[in-house]
Amino acid sequence: MNNNYTNKPIILYKRHIAKAITWRIFSFFTTFLLVLLIFHKEENAADIASGIAIGEFFFKMALYLVHERIWYHINFDFDIVSRVRHIAKSVTWRILGSFTTFALALILNKNHPEMASMATRVVVAELFAKLIIYYWHERIWYHIKYGVVHKKDE
C-alpha cells in the first residue's frame, strides 16, 4: 500500500449530506419493516415501528454525518478500491447504529413489559440486514463522484 496521500481528493460536505440522506432513507424503511415484523402481534405495531424509524431517521442523520467526517480524516491510499476500509466503516457504523436503535427502542417504548427482549431482537435483525445494506451503500457511493474534488497534479 502506498503511503503517499497527496492524491487524496477533497470530499465536500454536500457529498456527506447526500450520503446521509440516501442511507437514512434505506435505513428508515429497513427499520420500519423489521420492527413491524418483530412487533406484529402487538396492537400498536405500526406505531411502534413508526416511532423507532422516525426517531432513528432524525437522530442518526447527525450521527451519520459525524461518522462520515471521522472516516474522511482517516488516511488511506485512494488509488486502491478499499473493500477492507468499507468493511471496517460498515462495522463501526453498525456498532453505533445498533446501540442507538436499542436505546431508542427502550426509550420510546419503556412501558412495554417485554421491551428489552423485543429491542434486542430488533438490533439482532438489523445487525445482519443493515450491515450488508450499508456495505453496498458504501460501494455504490465509492463510484459516485458527486462532491469529490480531485487535486490537480503539479
The answer on pLDDT for 123 being more than 80 is: yes
List, in sequence order, every residue forming a beta bridge with 149; answer none if it has no partner. Answer: 10
Each residue of 1-24: pLDDT tens digit? 444 455 678 888 899 899 989 999
Average pLDDT over residues 84-99: 86
3-state SS record for the chain: CCCCCCCCCEECHHHHHHHHHHHHHHHHHHHHHHHHHHCCCCCCHHHHHHHHHHHHHHHHHHHHHHHHHHHHCCCCCCCCCCHHHHHHHHHHHHHHHHHHHHHHHHHHCCCCCCHHHHHHHHHHHHHHHHHHHHHHHHHHHHHCCCCEECCCCC
Average pLDDT over residues 125-147: 90
Average pLDDT over residues 88-98: 88
Write down the pLDDT at residue 136. 92
At residue 144 the predicted structure's pLDDT band, cuts being 50, 70 and 90, is very high
Average pLDDT over residues 72-101: 78
Each residue of 27-85: pLDDT tens digit? 999 999 999 998 898 888 899 899 889 988 888 888 988 988 888 887 665 545 577 78
Q: What are 110's three cell numbers?
A: 419503556
Write down the pLDDT at residue 115. 81
